[in-house]
Amino acid sequence: MQVGTIGLLGLVSAFLFESPRLPQGGTEWLGILALAVVCTGFGFTLQPVAQRGTTAERAGLFCAVNPMVAATLGAVFLHETLTAQSLAGMGLILLGIFAASIKTMPKIACKRLRHTVQ
């Protein structure tokens, strides 16, 4: 449902805001195929399988940090510019994660302390 909805909205948006065209060569079709398999196929199958072995809080943390990691990797490998606005956004992500984890820190610390004492 998610992939179909995004595909439909993307198609409508392409005709509303751009001049869409089909890929012209094998390289373009290969890029689309690679993105479809890697991003969609792996993202919607392997990510849930990998997240089975972790807590909901940790899975949420990975999802929250994902845009920050993507921007940082883009800056490192693709020499993209990190603006003050993007750095402020990263700071807000980290602040939000820290604020959310303050409530769970004492519970985690108590569980670990009980485990080591026993």
Phi-psi region of 79 (alpha: psi -120 to 50; beta: other; left: phi over 0): left
Highest mean pLDDT among 17-21, 39-43, 44-48, 97-101: 17-21
Residue 75 phi, psi (nearest 5): -70, -40
Q: Is 89 exposed, middle or buried (0-12, 13-18, 19+ CB in 10 A)?
A: middle
pLDDT, tens digit, for every residue of 93-109? 889 888 877 766 555 55
pLDDT, tens digit, for every residue of 57-70? 788 888 888 889 99
Residue 93 and residue 67 in contact, taking contact as beta carbons nearer than 8 Å: yes
Task: Tell me the three state secondary structure of residue 51.
Answer: helix
Q: pLDDT band at 116, cuts 50/70/90?
A: low
**What pLDDT does 106 receive?**
59
d(CA 10, CA 4): 10
If you search the block for the tokens 């949420």, which residue do you land on? 60
